[in-house]
Structure 1
Amino acid sequence: MTDLRTVSFGEAFGIWAKIGFLSFGGPAGQIALMHRILVDEKKWLSEPQFLHALNFCMLLPGPEAQQLATYSGWLLHGLKGGLAAGLMFILPGVAVMLGLSMLYAAYADLGLVEAVFFGIKAAVFAIVIEALIRISKRVMKSGALYAVAAAAFAAIFFFDVPFPLVVAAAALFGLAAARRAPWIFGDTLKAPEEEERRVNGGDHTRASPRRTFVTALVGLALWLGPVAALILFFGMGHVFAQEAVFFSKMAVITFGGAYAVLAYVAQEAVQNYGWLNPGEMLDGLGLAETTPGPLILVLQFVGYLAAHRAETGINPALAGAIGALVTVWVTFAPCFLWIFLGAPYVERLRKVATLNAAFTAITAAVVGVILNLAIWFGLHVLFGEVEEVRTGILRLWIPDTATLDPWALALSVAALVAVLRFHAGMLPALGMAAAAGVAISFL
């Protein structure tokens, strides 16, 4: 393992930028990317560290992958490291999404962009599968943990159980098993002493009431201060103030990532506010799925269209850009706050065996969640139409086999072979897939 104290901020910043530009494929692909770079290649984080941080981020509202990046940056270089990692994770996607939103509002025709990301989706699908295999091998220490992963997958995929309930059930299982069958967790219940010295040597990892109070005060001011200013300046009836308040609420209840909250956002944005229509909401989700950054950036698309179409008295494109940036600010400012408030205490909890057992069980459940995302993502990559069918409490995703895209299938198989058999790197895999997507569009 690399001693974190020897990693320069400049070197780390370059890695955060790389992750930000390559963070395609939603949370599963993004977590896989960070695991590959931070754990396997750079060895800046150990497997227990990475999974401990991931478990904590999965418990928080907001995009877990962005918060995991923030946590990782904080571990290396404290506050500035967390800000650098978290911001670089979202800024490339924010820039791309803003440009695509402007093009969509003006032309609603993004054929070339869709062709590029058509290929990228296939590569991301392969990367997600690779991550699922790699993490499963390292995390699963017993049949009981495989059972937890299978139960989590079935609960979400077949029964649409809310994500927080899945996490809570896994945590309770871990706490109970720590007392009655601790052997199922292998050696994950206690961090090695060498790792403890290496990680906890930094002052920023030590929790203190004073630092917690200051962090909460500054974080809340940065998050809610602009919201209050918009309400006072424009009034609650103005679109900027409405967006600030609405998306601030979303930042608090978005447990389980983007998909968990999209139905509610779509209902409110389409039916109550009239900011866009259902088809446009799906278009925005499609753009968010094929751009770098967290899927929750679909909210930026909603914010842009809402302000672009409102009577603001300023240029529609400028109004849209302001609306998009307001949405991004109130969506992600709380994400940084949760990490900077909780991370010091979570690092302290790494020494508590029963809580490590709960986190290990959550990690096993996360494997099931990643499998769910991989299957969902794969179905939507390979088939043009996938229907959600409900029979009582059972929920199934049924693809229309007539809409199977042979080009998508061929690209996915080729990407899987390249990644799993020949261990292709991220950039070559994504680059070749994007080029193939453009070539296929001309055919």
Structure 2
Amino acid sequence: MQTQKNKLKEVAQVFFKLGFFAFGGPAAHIAMMEEEIVAKRKWMTRNYFLDMIGATNLIPGPNSTEMTMHCGYERAGRKGLFVAGICFIFPAIIITGLLAYLYVKYGELPEVKPFIIGIKPAVLAIIASAIIKLSKKAIKSTELAVLGVLVLVVSLLGVNEVLALLLAGIFGMGYFYLKERIQNKTLSISPILLSLVVSETVVKLSSLKVFLMFLKVGAILYGSGYVLFAYLDAELVSRGWLTRPELIDAIAVGQFTPGPVLSTSTFIGYQLSGFPGAIAATTGIFLPSFLFVLILNPFISRMRQSKILRHFLDAVNVAAVAVMLSVLVVMTIDTIVDWRTILIAILCSYLTFGTKISTMWIIAIGSVLGYLLLLF
């Protein structure tokens, strides 16, 4: 039996490695975690992993980063939560900080497009694999399958994913509760309690001001990198602290570096207040996630023990898989644009479904292929 120290070391190794290879956004990050945590290391069941995804989607903050914290908590307690989150974030912060220094010094970003062209098709195969495995556990009945299809449709139509998940959870909870009452012919009333505990124009700001600004964003942020762009545009550009082209460059850094897109905060913090600003911004935007997960995690298993909240989780879980599928559809349309990306997608799909090669190697292979094929 492993000691607490060994468990913490294992958590650190797993998420530090993921932090270097986690490209492609939250859906891809969660897919990689599913392989490492559930399939390979068996730290928890796929059902419980699904419960964590469902619960995490309903709180503010970067979902995939919060999932690392949940996994760390399950493996090594509260210390594991902080170790997992910090190790996952750390590689992105270091890479982004270095890029911020070079950007401020030379005024431009490095050319990484050839490598990203290959990474994106590889990520599609990894996400598809996770969706198939998770859907087998999430779709427990015909009603849940129909609910998943409805969430997929409304997500593709542009409905906010958090709203879609929440409405699916409430509808599923009410429907299955009433169905059980009718089947059991019972008039007993169960209390319903759902409490989810929830360049030249750059202005130099104090580190405290940078910290508080990003703390506010981290505490209320829902959604993708595009939502983050809107938040930061309102906080920075409208006040004249950053130009919009500089903000776009910062968001681009978060997109093409591994790990959470919120590492953008490190880049912007450096622009606003140098190294202290980078530390302040990074700490501010990620701190709420640590606190939210610390509060939420103990309630996930308890929700399973409540009959009516169990229905809520089942509905949210199938909705979460549907949202992942909608992300995959949109990413596929944006990514598969020529013969190179088609070739990489086919090869990486074979490696994902036909072999036992680690997702980390598939990402690396896709990246190298993207660079080589662009030479032709």
Same fold (TM > 0.5): yes
Aligned to 2:178: 180
Aligned to 1:161: 159
Aligned to 2:313: 359
- Asked if the contact 2:121/2:335 (under 8 Å) is kept, the reply is yes
Deviations 1:28-55 (A, max 9, x none): 0011111111111111111122112222
Aligned to 1:389: none
Residues 84 and 359 of structure 1: CA distance in aligned 2, closer, same or farther (over 3 Å): same
RMSD over equivalenced CA pairs, Å: 2.6
Question: What SS does the aligned partner of 1:61 have?
Answer: coil
* Residue 410, structure 1, aligned to residue 343, structure 2: yes
- Asked if the contact 1:276/1:302 (under 8 Å) is kept, the reply is no
Matches within 5 A, 1:30-109: 30-105=29-104, 106-109=106-109
* Residue 427, structure 1, aligned to residue 360, structure 2: yes
Residues 243 and 435 of structure 1: CA distance in aligned 2, closer, same or farther (over 3 Å): same
Residues 6 and 134 of structure 1: CA distance in aligned 2, closer, same or farther (over 3 Å): farther
Aligned to 1:171: 169
Aligned to 2:373: 440
**Aligned equivalents of 2:260, 2:331: Cα separation in 1:** 14
- Asked if the contact 2:99/2:109 (under 8 Å) is kept, the reply is no
Aligned to 1:346: 300
Residues 24 and 237 of structure 1: CA distance in aligned 2, closer, same or farther (over 3 Å): closer
**Aligned equivalents of 1:71, 1:376: Cα separation in 2:** 27
Residues 256 and 270 of structure 1: CA distance in aligned 2, closer, same or farther (over 3 Å): same
Deviations 1:53-87 (A, max 9, x none): 22221111101111111111111211211111111
Q: Give the AA of the match of 2:357.
A: A
- Unpaired segments of 5 or more residues in structure 2? 182-197
* Residue 299, structure 1, aligned to residue 265, structure 2: yes
Question: What SS does the aligned partner of 1:181 have?
Answer: helix
Question: Following TM superposition, by how much is the alpha carbon of 1:144 offset from its aligned partner in structure 2, in angstroms?
Answer: 1.8
**Aligned equivalents of 1:65, 1:80: Cα separation in 2:** 18
- Asked if the contact 2:225/2:251 (under 8 Å) is kept, the reply is no
- Asked if the contact 2:53/2:320 (under 8 Å) is kept, the reply is no
Deviations 1:344-403 (A, max 9, x none): 233322211211110110111111211122122223323xxxxxxxxxxxxxxxxxxxxx
Aligned to 2:281: 327
Question: What SS does the aligned partner of 2:238 have?
Answer: helix
Aligned to 1:247: 214
**Aligned equivalents of 2:310, 2:333: Cα separation in 1:** 34
* Residue 269, structure 1, aligned to residue 267, structure 2: no
- Asked if the contact 1:64/1:257 (under 8 Å) is kept, the reply is no
Aligned to 2:324: 370
Deviations 1:260-284 (A, max 9, x none): 343232243223334122x443333
Q: Give the AA of the match of 1:161.
A: V
> Normalising by structure 2, what TM-score?
0.86
**Aligned equivalents of 1:343, 1:420: Cα separation in 2:** 32
Q: Give the AA of the match of 1:373.
A: V
- Asked if the contact 1:62/1:257 (under 8 Å) is kept, the reply is no
Residues 300 and 11 of structure 1: CA distance in aligned 2, closer, same or farther (over 3 Å): closer
- Unpaired segments of 5 or more residues in structure 1? 184-215, 217-235, 308-318, 383-403
- Asked if the contact 1:155/1:161 (under 8 Å) is kept, the reply is yes
Question: Following TM superposition, by how much is the alpha carbon of 1:107 offset from its aligned partner in structure 2, in angstroms?
Answer: 4.2
Q: Give the AA of the match of 1:166.
A: A
Q: Give the AA of the match of 2:294.
A: F
Residues 182 and 29 of structure 1: CA distance in aligned 2, closer, same or farther (over 3 Å): farther
Question: What SS does the aligned partner of 2:31 have?
Answer: helix
**Aligned equivalents of 1:260, 1:153: Cα separation in 2:** 20
- Asked if the contact 1:121/1:290 (under 8 Å) is kept, the reply is no
Residues 175 and 6 of structure 1: CA distance in aligned 2, closer, same or farther (over 3 Å): farther
Q: Percent identity?
A: 25
Deviations 1:262-312 (A, max 9, x none): 3232243223334122x44333333222222112222333333333xxxxx
Aligned to 2:193: none
